[in-house]
Amino acid sequence: MPARHSVRRVDGHEIHTLANAKVSVSLAPVYGARVVSLRDLASGREWFDGWAPASERRLRAPRDPADFSTGPGAGLDECLPTVAPCRVAGRELPDHGEPWTTPAPVDPVAAQGGELVSAWKLRSLPLDFTRRITLSGATVRFAYSLTNRSARPTPFLWAWHALLTLRRGDRLELPPALRKCQDARGQAFPWPGAMPGCDLSRADLEAAPKKRAKVFVGPFARGAATLHDSRGPSLSLRWPTEVMPYAGIWITRGYWNGLHHWAVEPTNARADALAEITRDKSPLHWLAPHETREWFVTARVG
């Protein structure tokens, strides 16, 4: 069955949805084309955290566009060209990048053909960024294109910043070869027991003093992660490791804004700030003059 496109207004916000018999995905163009829902229609499981019309945490503009923590803390944002705010080449790069605060209208022609296409022209660095969302059976494909507008090499850091619903009994499965993780300072820990009494694969942080964790895993031989619901549903992520060989793992158990969620963030660097990796001339972190790079993330429900 082909994907159906529909538009509705919720609390004054225009919401675009693609749906077939197995999965639906919805986004809000005015809030940086934030993906506010990814729903398994067979089980009813909502995988993107926290947004629903009747919830206390409604979709809303951030109180301070320079501070990600003042936003709704839900759904999928695209972090580009950095996650943490920093200064690169004399330019201030904003908290969690630019797209999340930049309205991105849906291409109406593509939507009629079953694609949700959003595009951004970054101001902080000379980068053009496009995301195309399509459905195939139970799989949602997020296809990306990034172009350097400049005649000079340009660095970038991208992370797939999907804040995922966390329910009791959920479990994160990574490839068995990944047995270590590291924090933002580069200190290594065993995966998933980064500290005694904690199991990051189950978001069990009882031994953590602040009940949160941010670690990086990789490089991956195969970009893969699966979240399992103890009642049966799962969400399987896949991505190309030749472009995005790492993933950030973020967990908060009430620490950040009182929220309980986690994230699996395919990325091209084991860092949150672009300034930390600009000395590394690896092509993973740089686009050549006028280069275009493409990659994808797929999310399969069921």
Instruction: For the beta carbon of residue 179, count every other beta carbon within 10 angstroms.
Output: 11
Residues 155 and 278: their CA atoms lie apart, in Å, by 7
Show the tokens assigned to 231. 């009642």
- Alpha-helix runs per DSSP H in the chain: 108-112
- Please compute the mean of the pLDDT values over residues 66-79 and round it to a whole number: 90
CA distance linking residue 243 with residue 238, whole number of Å: 12
pLDDT of residue 52: 46
DSSP secondary structure of 69-90: GGS---EEEEE-S-SS-EEETT
pLDDT bin (cut points 50, 70, 90) of residue 81 is very high
Mean pLDDT of 34-61: 78
CATH number of domain containing 167: 2.70.98.10
Query: Residue 204 carries which DSSP code?
Result: B
Check pLDDT > 80 for residue 124: yes
Please say whether the beta carbons of 18 and 87 come within 8 A: no
pLDDT tens digits for 264-284? Answer: 999 999 999 999 999 999 999
169: exposed, middle or buried (C-beta count within 10 Å: 0-12, 13-18, 19+)?
Answer: exposed
User: How many folded domains does the chain comprise?
Assistant: 1
Q: Please report which confidence band the pLDDT of residue 189 belongs to, taking 50, 70 and 90 as the band edges.
A: very high
Q: Find the mean pLDDT for residues 217-232.
A: 96
Domain span at residue 93 reads 4-301
Per DSSP, 46 falls in state: B
Query: 112 with 5: CB under 8 angstroms?
Result: yes
pLDDT of 179: 95
Of all residues in the chain, the percent with pLDDT exceeding 70 is: 96
Mean pLDDT of the chain, nearest integer: 93
